[in-house]
Amino acid sequence: MTVSIVYTGNLRCACTHVQSGTVIETDAPTDNKGKGERFSPTDTVCVALATCIVTTMGIKANAMNIDLSGTTIAVTKHMIPDPRRIGQIDVFLEIPPSAHVSEKDRQLLQKVGDSCPVARSLHPDLKQNIQYTWL
């Protein structure tokens, strides 16, 4: 088992990562009967995509002796109705100049990010708008 989840009531869940014991809580968003006081389940999908992109890039970058520390990511989720679902996820990465990455290596790292496991796992109808800015 990877995660143990308890529905705690009031549209919230406590999710425990079995190996580490780390807990995250979710809450329904305000536009869907929740309080919006925690990540919503659909927010966690967006977080999974963004962190998978930078993590897989980081794995490859480490093997290339490139340090991507300090990379920041802004994520925007776009919900659509009928049925209610995520229609688009915008992921904007800013890689700091301290990474010292050549154009050739940038293209390789972006390809790695674009093909991360989460990106490949999401439904093809979900638009993934991933943009890289190399500062």
Q: Which domain holds residue 30?
A: 1-39
Place of tokens 């929740």: 34
* Cα angle value 105/111/117 (rounded, 5°): 130
Q: Both 25 and 57 in a single domain?
A: no
pLDDT value for 80 = 97
pLDDT value for 71 = 98
Q: Both 59 and 108 in a single domain?
A: yes
Q: What is the pLDDT of residues 40-96, one digit of tens each?
A: 999 999 999 999 999 999 999 999 999 999 999 999 999 999 999 999 999 999 999
Q: Both 115 and 127 in a single domain?
A: yes
Distance CA 26, CA 88 (A): 20
Q: What is the pLDDT of residues 103-118, one digit of tens each?
A: 999 999 999 999 999 9
Q: Both 126 and 110 in a single domain?
A: yes
DSSP 118: H
Q: pLDDT category, 14, cuts 50, 70, 90?
A: very high
Q: Both 128 and 74 in a single domain?
A: yes
- Report pTM: 0.95
Q: Both 24 and 73 in a single domain?
A: no
- CATH code at 80? 3.30.300.20
Q: pLDDT category, 19, cuts 50, 70, 90?
A: very high
Q: Both 30 and 96 in a single domain?
A: no
The amino acid that residue 134 corresponds to is: W
pLDDT value for 59 = 98
The amino acid that residue 98 corresponds to is: S
For the chain, the domain total comes to 2
What Cα–Cα distance (Å) separates residue 69 from each residue in 28, 31, 100?
32, 35, 12
Q: Both 107 and 44 in a single domain?
A: yes
- H/E element holding 133? strand 127-134
Distance CA 109, CA 121 (A): 19
pLDDT value for 56 = 98
DSSP 38: S
